[in-house]
C-alpha cells in the first residue's frame, strides 16, 4: 500500500484528508514542519500533501528543505488561497500540482493518484535511460507491454544460437533497434555491428558496397575500398529492407551465406567471412517470393529464426512510457521546462492508431517540445491536428463524425471528443477484461483507483 504524508496545521483539515485517503493509502499525519521531518525519518513515503500556510514554516520553504534530502518524493500543495502567488510559488518550488480549499474529494484523490502515477512512470523512464546509457542512448527498445516483452524474449533466445534471423515489422517499429539488441546479447557483441540499408544504394553500387573493390576495378576506382563484409569481420551484418535488394545482388548474397566466401569487385583473391547475418523487411517476403521478386532459396536461408515486431497500435500500454521517454530525451537536449504530459494529451496519444509507429510518436513529441516545451505539461494543443481531430481507434461516433470532414463536428468541442475517446477506451478495456477492473486498468496502463474515478466521471457502470 502506498504511504501518504499529510502536513497541515489545522486539525480539521488533517482529519478530513485522512478520511478521504485512509481506504487506499497508509496515511501519516504531521501538524508542523518538525513533525513532518520526524515522520520522514521513520518511514519512506510515496507522496506528501502539504499545506501552503503553517505557523512555524511556510509550505514552500518546507518543500524546498525536504527536496534537498528526499528529491525523489513528489508533492501536492494545498491552500485556502486561490490567488496566483501561492500557486506560482508552489510550482516553481517543484510541487506536482496545487489544490485549493475547500477541495472536492474526487478531485484531490485524482490529483494525488496522478502525481504518484507520474512519479512511477518517470522513475521507470529513468531506469530505462540508465540501462540505455550503459550501451548506446540511441539504441534501446523501450516498453513493458506483453507484445514487446515477447519480442525481447525471442531476441534473447536467438542470441544464444549462431544463426540467421529475419525481423518483420512495419516501417517505424524499431527493427534496427531489435537487430542491435540481438547483436549486443550475442557472443559477437565486442565486434562491429554494420548496417546495410538495401534500398539506399543503386544496383550498380551495391556489390561494391557489400564486397568492396580493388583499385582500377572500374572508372573512378583509384584505390582499394573495403566492403561491409570486410568492416563486419566476425561481427554482425544487418540487411535492412532486404526485399529491396536486386535479383543480381540476391544471387551474390546467397553464395556468401552458403559458402562463407566472397571476392572484391575486380579482385581475384577469395576472402572468407565469419559475420553473423540479420535481415529485416517491412514486406511479407513469402508474398515477394510468390510474386517472383525475391529468391525462394535466399528466403529460406534468411528465415531461420523469424521475429515479428508488433506495430505501436498493438502496444497501447507502452505509449505513455515511450512518450515520457522521448520527452525526457528532448527536454535534456532543448533545455526545456516540460516535465510531463497532460492527461488529456495522453488520452489523445492512446486513441491514435500511429501508422508511422514509434518513429511517428517520437516526431510528434519532438514537435510538441519545440512548440510547447516551455509549459510544465504538454497540453492537447501541442499535438498535430490529426491527433486532436481524428482517430482510427476512436469510438464509432467520433470516428464517423470526423471521417468525411477530417475535423470535429461544429457541435463537438475538443473536451467532448476527448471524453468520447476515453469512454471508448475504458469500455473496450472493461469488455476485454470481462468486467474485471484490475485487469482493465492494467490494459490501459493505469491503476484500478484511477480507472474507477474515470468510470464514475463518465457514468460507466
Write the pLDDT tens digit of every residue in 229-255. Answer: 988 888 999 999 999 999 989 999 999
In a domain, 200, yes or no: yes
Whether 337 and 285 share a structural domain: no
Contacts with 40 (C-beta within 8 Å, 6 or more apart), sequence order: 5, 66, 69, 70
In a domain, 99, yes or no: yes
Strand residues in 34-117 grouped as ranges (E): 47-51, 75-79, 97-100
184/159 Cα distance (integer angstroms) = 8
| Structural domain ending residue among the three candidates 95, 127, 159 | 127
* Burial bucket for residue 313 (CB in 10 Å: 0-12, 13-18, 19+): middle
What residues does 48 pair with on adjacent strands? 5, 75
In a domain, 135, yes or no: no
In a domain, 28, yes or no: yes
145-171 per-position pLDDT tens digit = 888 989 999 999 999 988 999 999 999
Tell me what pLDDT residue 455 has.
82
| Structural domain ending residue among the three candidates 259, 289, 312 | 312
Whether 297 and 423 share a structural domain: no
User: Domain residues for 396?
Assistant: 315-457
The residue ranking higher by pLDDT, 270 or 179, is 179
Whether 333 and 304 share a structural domain: no
Whether 68 and 165 share a structural domain: no
In a domain, 141, yes or no: no
**CATH code for position 371:** 1.10.8.60
The residue ranking higher by pLDDT, 418 or 265, is 265
**CATH code for position 121:** 3.40.50.2300
Whether 183 and 43 share a structural domain: no
Tell me what pLDDT residue 397 has.
38
**CATH code for position 162:** 3.40.50.300
Give the range among 238-242, 361-365, 405-409 with minimum mean pLDDT.
405-409
Whether 105 and 155 share a structural domain: no
Q: Is 434 left (phi over 0), alpha (psi -120 to 50) or beta?
A: left
Whether 80 and 100 share a structural domain: yes
pLDDT at 390 over 80: no
In a domain, 137, yes or no: no
In a domain, 136, yes or no: no
Domain count, the chain: 3
Tell me what pLDDT residue 404 has.
35
| Structural domain ending residue among the three candidates 127, 162, 177 | 127
Whether 292 and 333 share a structural domain: no
In a domain, 133, yes or no: no
Whether 218 and 268 share a structural domain: yes
Q: Which of 96, 91, 101 is nearest to 111 (CA)?
A: 96
232, 194 contact by CB (below 8 A): yes
Whether 232 and 190 share a structural domain: yes
Whether 282 and 374 share a structural domain: no
φ and ψ of 29, to 5 deg = -120, 145
Whether 271 and 369 share a structural domain: no
pLDDT bracket for residue 399 (50, 70, 90): very low
Amino acid at each position: 500500500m502506498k504511504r501518504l504524508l499529510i502536513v497541515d496545521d489545522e486539525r480539521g483539515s488533517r482529519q478530513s484528508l485522512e478520511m478521504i485517503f485512509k481506504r487506499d493509502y497508509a496515511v501519516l499525519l504531521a501538524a508542523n514542519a518538525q513533525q513532518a521531518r520526524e515522520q520522514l525519518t521513520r518511514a519512506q513515503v510515496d507522496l506528501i500533501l502539504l499545506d501552503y500556510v503553517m505557523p512555524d514554516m511556510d509550505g514552500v520553504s518546507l518543500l524546498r528543505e525536504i527536496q534537498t534530502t528526499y528529491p525523489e518524493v513528489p508533492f501536492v500543495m494545498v491552500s485556502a488561497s486561490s490567488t496566483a502567488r501561492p500557486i506560482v510559488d508552489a510550482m516553481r518550488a517543484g510541487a506536482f500540482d496545487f489544490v485549493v480549499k475547500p477541495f472536492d474529494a474526487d478531485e484531490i484523490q485524482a490529483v494525488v493518484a496522478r502525481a504518484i502515477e507520474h512519479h512511477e512512470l518517470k522513475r521507470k523512464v529513468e531506469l530505462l535511460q540508465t540501462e540505455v546509457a550503459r550501451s548506446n542512448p540511441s539504441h534501446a527498445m523501450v516498453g513493458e507491454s506483453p507484445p514487446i516483452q515477447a519480442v525481447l524474449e525471442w531476441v534473447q533466445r536467438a542470441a544464444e544460437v549462431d544463426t540467421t534471423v529475419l525481423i518483420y515489422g512495419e516501417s517505424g517499429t524499431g527493427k534496427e533497434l531489435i537487430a542491435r539488441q540481438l547483436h549486443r546479447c550475442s557472443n559477437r557483441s565486442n565486434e562491429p555491428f554494420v548496417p546495410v540499408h538495401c534500398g539506399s544504394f543503386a544496383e550498380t553500387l551495391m556489390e561494391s558496397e557489400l564486397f568492396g573493390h580493388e583499385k582500377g576495378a572500374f572508372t573512378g576506382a583509384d584505390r582499394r575500398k573495403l566492403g561491409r563484409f570486410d568492416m563486419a569481420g566476425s561481427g554482425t551484418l544487418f540487411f535492412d529492407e532486404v526485399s529491396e535488394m536486386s535479383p543480381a545482388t540476391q544471387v551474390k548474397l546467397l553464395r556468401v551465406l552458403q559458402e562463407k566466401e566472397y571476392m572484391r569487385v575486380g579482385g581475384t583473391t577469395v576472402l572468407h567471412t565469419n559475420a553473423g547475418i540479420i535481415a529485416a523487411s517491412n514486406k511479407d517476403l513469402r508474398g515477394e517470393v510468390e510474386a517472383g521478386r525475391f529468391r525462394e532459396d535466399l528466403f529460406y536461408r534468411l528465415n531461420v529464426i523469424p521475429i515479428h515486431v508488433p506495430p505501436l497500435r498493438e502496444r497501447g500500454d507502452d505509449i505513455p512510457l515511450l512518450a515520457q521517454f522521448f520527452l525526457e530525451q528532448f527536454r535534456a537536449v532543448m533545455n526545456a521546462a516540460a516535465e510531463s504530459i497532460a492527461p488529456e494529451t495522453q488520452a489523445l496519444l492512446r486513441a491514435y492508431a500511429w501508422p508511422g509507429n514509434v518513429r511517428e510518436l517520437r516526431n510528434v513529441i519532438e514537435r510538441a517540445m519545440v512548440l510547447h516545451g516551455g509549459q510544465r505539461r504538454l497540453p492537447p494543443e501541442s499535438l498535430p491536428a490529426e491527433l486532436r481531430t481524428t482517430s482510427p481507434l476512436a469510438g464509432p461516433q467520433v470516428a464517423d463524425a470526423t471521417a468525411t470532414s477530417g475535423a470535429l463536428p461544429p457541435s463537438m468541442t475538443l473536451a467532448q471528443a476527448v471524453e468520447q475517446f476515453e469512454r471508448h477506451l475504458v469500455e473496450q478495456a472493461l469488455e476485454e477484461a470481462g468486467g474485471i477492473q484490475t485487469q482493465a486498468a492494467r490494459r490501459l496502463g493505469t491503476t484500478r483507483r484511477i480507472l474507477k474515478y474515470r468510470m464514475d466521471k463518465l457514468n460507466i457502470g
